[in-house]
Structure 1
Amino acid sequence: MPPTISATDRPLEKLTADAVVVGVGAGPTGLLTTPGAEAVDRLLGGRLLEALADLGARGAEDEVTRLPTFGQAPFPVVAVAGLGAPQADGTYSAEAVRRAAGAASRALTGRSSVVTLLAAVGGAPDAERLHAVGEGSLLGAYEFTAYKSGLPADRPTPPASFELVVPDAGAAKAPLARVRAVAAAVGLVRDLVNTPPNDLHPAELAARGAAAGKKAGLSVEVLDEKALADGGYGGILAVGGGSARGPRLLRLVYEGKKARTSVALVGKGITFDSGGISIKPAAKMEDMKSDMAGAAAVIATVCLVAELGLPVDVTATVPIAENLPSGTAYRPADVVTFRNGKRAEITNTDAEGRVVLADAICRAAEDSPDYLLETATLTGAQLVALGTRTAGVMGSDDLRDAVVAASTRTGEPMWAMPLPPELRRGLDSSVADLVNANADRMGGMLVGGHFLAEFVPAGLPWAHIDIAGPSYNTGAPWGYTPKGGTGVPVRTLLATIEDLIARS
């Protein structure tokens, strides 16, 4: 069961819990207090801040110091989460608070009930601050144990409940309802990404996506191999042809009441990517179960939009395949014909994401949406250029910049990338309309964007989000981000859609 979250405006001394969370900042000469830390310090007779100084706490990001209260408060443990250095105006960003809440959740494994005073950071909490504290708390409490056998019943588990101390509990109900919905959507993505590929094959991912869509009240369509062949989806069929477990195309449709605009979502769903005949090195190939993170994200996003009842029409088009080498796999030198009639010469079977996405973009564009948002673990070049935490965004300048602006607010870092015209020449083919991969590795992320652009109709605003690194954390947990699937970019997609509604 996911943890619960609620708000209270009762006095701190009248609350009971297994732990209380407060925040401190990092100043040039020592700790910077916050209202929550000061309240607990008073409750403990002025001992908290003194003890933190004695323990060498610095208030740094991702630092959590736990102290006992020795019976002096209605909670046995205080978890002091570092907020890092404040901004130039002395305040802390919502993302700093979100990460502190997540770090505290991770540090409080084994404590069932948690009261948090982080909403007091920065004064009276507004919706943005409540979203930050709530999302950080719930997302930091995530765990994936579906494949752990023999777990003891009394093992330490993440917190089961969070209670936010606020001035007005009634005013916090709507923001926390949104927090629950967002956390559930991110949790769905994480669960799907973390599921091993022997269980999450194409038909299974399509079935789980369809089940989520039906639960959210969406219209659902799943195309199997025959339907894909009848529909001219040559790219999806080519990539999926090497696996005994055939490809699928999933479509989820939400029609919002009094819809003010329409958005097409497209997400890459390669349930396992060996590279095909252009096979990858063995090292770290196990991470390629995450190559369907874009698909998981758009499935969760359209379901989230439906749960929130937003006034927009959203359709998710999800190409799903498994890229394996075999006697039936597609080959370098093959020519693939896509749904719109364009043909690509295959020069690298490991550049398969763009091949399935081309068909999906063509189908999504047939609905004549106002905007197209697509996300994929598309290129290793994204990690080379931007690292493991920052996604690259390409496409129409205005929509690209809107996505980046939304990512800044949600705490999912992204960076606007260009599509230099000279790089398009690397996709020229003497045999077909274009090749699927340039032999020159320079600007690989941007070349991938150029390939996708070939399938976007003129005049349709579009954005491509390359999440190769940010969607799957191969390192240690940090903030509210666990090891494994992260849920990126669900929160950015939601924020972008809300922005598009507002401007319509």
Structure 2
Amino acid sequence: MRAWYLPGVITLHALEATLAEGKAPLKVVWVKKGELTPQGEALDVRLGGLLRQAMAGAGFKGEAGENLLLSTPEGHFLLFGLDEDPRATGGRLAQVLGKLSFPEVLVEALEAYPLAEGILLGAYRFDRYKASNKEEKPVAIQLSGANPEEVERAKKVAEGVYWARDLVNEPPNVLTPEALAEAALSLKAFGVEVEVLDEGAIQALGMGAFLAVAQGSENPPRFIALRYAPEGARERLDLVGKGLTFDSGGYSLKPTEGMATMKGDMAGGAAVLGAMKSAALLGLPVEIRGYIAACENMVSGRAYRLGDVLKTLSGKTVEVMNTDAEGRLTLADALAYAERQGAKRILELSTLTGSAVVALGEEVAALFATEETWGKQVEEAAKKAGEKVWPLPLEKAYREKLKSPVADLKNVGDRNGGAITAALFLAEFVTVPLVHLDIAGPAFAKKAHALGPEGGTGFGVRTILNVVQGLGKV
């Protein structure tokens, strides 16, 4: 599964020349609230005021994403309105350039790294299943004044995000649990150790909750364990990602509207894989371990039922009160396994609850932390990545909602505070510091946006990488 921009419809290159000095068939000139940047001003002086005249004649204000193409005897110029967020500016620019036919473009690299990242993310497409899919003409973007190292880093980060998006966007008849495991095995080429456990090995370990969710499907489960261990690493991060390659809800069946995007219920696992790939490409100096319990939640004569009592890897028992609260069951065993492997701190990502979407909408992930310092580290990493998260409380009083008369826990509480009780459930299965990111809202975009089209967003990859970089500096 290859990222759309590689080996390259859009390629990025650092360039020392300014807009006035450089040579390219098209030059992008930034405008913010009617004002040109210093490089734009210098170019306009060289052109005898042509740019300002065109802006005045067209009533061009330079609002975010607003653009105006000028074809003159002096060359082609694209006036483009700056967004407050340079990533959004880059993404919108990439989408506009994709509709034009210039083989080379010169762009002033304001805030070079986020701009470069935005350009690459905004260029993403997933159209391999369309009969009308046609080969795109390559576009080489020269970033004036950019640091070459920043440009290369953006490419390596984007490759991980693209892979995560591709995995989420694959149809569920293609991306089965076995196929997800095969995708994970491709990381061996980047120096990542990968172990895949089949159904027998999962059963031998005692992952009763994970197996219960998986048992209703014809497609067998797979447990994926990953290890990136660069020489000299002094810090370690353990990642856990939800890996439901399709979720029907089981006997607590989802309605059509709720099931339509459930091929993306493995977005947490996809983020783990994408981040592992980018970390290896970047050579980050931190040991990273990742765990994904991959399965489908289906309806059949073998499917698990309401009232079933499951024994987890930790030894705790869970009474099933809703088969559509399946992700937390698979994660319970994955989290316990991570701790058995010596995890010191865990970052877990999952499309876990609709309650998180009700609380925070579709662009913000809910962050829960069992330890404040670790929660702040992840929150700051997400902010730096431009991925929106918001901390919610692990309200201990709500633990009462999970009490069962026949088992140690129920897998759901009542409707109120559902994202919190789900997080409290997960916290029962680890003793080390845990951050749980409920990415149910931002993991899958229902319409096109500045950084990409409808579909998987790769949310979490960039946050994970920033967390890793932060640990590497300790």
Measured against the shorter chain, the TM-score band is over 0.9
SS in 1 for 2:154: helix
Task: Give the corresponding residue for 1:69.
Answer: 71
Task: Give the corresponding residue for 1:282.
Answer: 256
AA aligned to 1:141 is A
Task: Give the corresponding residue for 2:81.
Answer: 81
2:326 aligned with 1:352: yes
Task: Give the corresponding residue for 2:436.
Answer: 464
- Judged with a 3 Å threshold, the aligned counterparts in structure 2 of structure 1 residues 401 and 238 are, in CA distance, closer, same or farther, namely same
Match of 2:88 among 99, 115, 130: 99
2:152 aligned with 1:177: yes
2:424 aligned with 1:424: no
Match of 1:374 among 348, 362, 366: 348
Shift of 1:53: 3.9
AA aligned to 1:286 is A
Shift of 1:284: 4.5
Shift of 1:6: 0.8
- The separation in 2 between residues aligned to 1:18 and 1:208, in whole angstroms, is 40
1:101–1:137 Cα contact (<8 Å) kept: yes
- The separation in 2 between residues aligned to 1:279 and 1:345, in whole angstroms, is 18
SS in 2 for 1:69: strand
Shift of 1:44: 3.6
2:19–2:27 Cα contact (<8 Å) kept: no
Task: Give the corresponding residue for 1:210.
Answer: 185
- The separation in 2 between residues aligned to 1:79 and 1:191, in whole angstroms, is 32
2:461 aligned with 1:490: yes
Shift of 1:152: 4.3
Shift of 1:47: 2.5
SS in 1 for 2:223: strand
- The separation in 2 between residues aligned to 1:303 and 1:342, in whole angstroms, is 34
2:257 aligned with 1:267: no
Task: Give the corresponding residue for 1:125.
Answer: none
AA aligned to 1:8 is L
Per the normalisation by structure 1, the TM-score is 0.88
Task: Give the corresponding residue for 2:121.
Answer: 139
Alignment of 1:306-455 (within 5 A): 306-395=280-369, 396-438=371-413, 440-455=414-429
2:206–2:312 Cα contact (<8 Å) kept: yes
2:123–2:452 Cα contact (<8 Å) kept: no
Shift of 1:18: 4.4
Task: Give the corresponding residue for 1:93.
Answer: none
- Judged with a 3 Å threshold, the aligned counterparts in structure 2 of structure 1 residues 363 and 422 are, in CA distance, closer, same or farther, namely same
- Judged with a 3 Å threshold, the aligned counterparts in structure 2 of structure 1 residues 158 and 60 are, in CA distance, closer, same or farther, namely farther
Match of 1:22 among 2, 18, 29: 29
SS in 2 for 1:12: coil
- The separation in 2 between residues aligned to 1:55 and 1:354, in whole angstroms, is 55
- Judged with a 3 Å threshold, the aligned counterparts in structure 2 of structure 1 residues 158 and 82 are, in CA distance, closer, same or farther, namely farther
Alignment of 1:104-253 (within 5 A): 104-110=93-99, 111-119=101-109, 121=110, 129-153=111-135, 157=136, 160-166=139-145, 172-211=147-186, 213-253=187-227
AA aligned to 1:25 is K
Task: Give the corresponding residue for 1:303.
Answer: 277
Of 45-54 and 329-338, deviating more is: 45-54
1:354–1:448 Cα contact (<8 Å) kept: yes
Q: Deviations over 1:339-381 (max 9, x none)?
A: 1111111111111111101110011111222211110111111
Shift of 1:400: 1.2
Task: Give the corresponding residue for 2:35.
Answer: 32
2:169–2:456 Cα contact (<8 Å) kept: yes
SS in 1 for 2:450: coil
- The separation in 2 between residues aligned to 1:323 and 1:254, in whole angstroms, is 29
- Judged with a 3 Å threshold, the aligned counterparts in structure 2 of structure 1 residues 79 and 203 are, in CA distance, closer, same or farther, namely farther
- The separation in 2 between residues aligned to 1:209 and 1:467, in whole angstroms, is 21
2:445–2:454 Cα contact (<8 Å) kept: yes
SS in 1 for 2:266: helix
1:358–1:455 Cα contact (<8 Å) kept: yes
AA aligned to 2:444 is Y
2:32–2:62 Cα contact (<8 Å) kept: yes
- Judged with a 3 Å threshold, the aligned counterparts in structure 2 of structure 1 residues 264 and 249 are, in CA distance, closer, same or farther, namely same
Give ranges in structure 1 of 5+ residues lacking alignment.
Answer: 85-95, 122-128
- The separation in 1 between residues aligned to 2:24 and 2:59, in whole angstroms, is 26
Per the normalisation by structure 2, the TM-score is 0.94
Task: Give the corresponding residue for 1:91.
Answer: none
Fraction of identical pairs, as percent? 40
- The separation in 1 between residues aligned to 2:138 and 2:366, in whole angstroms, is 34
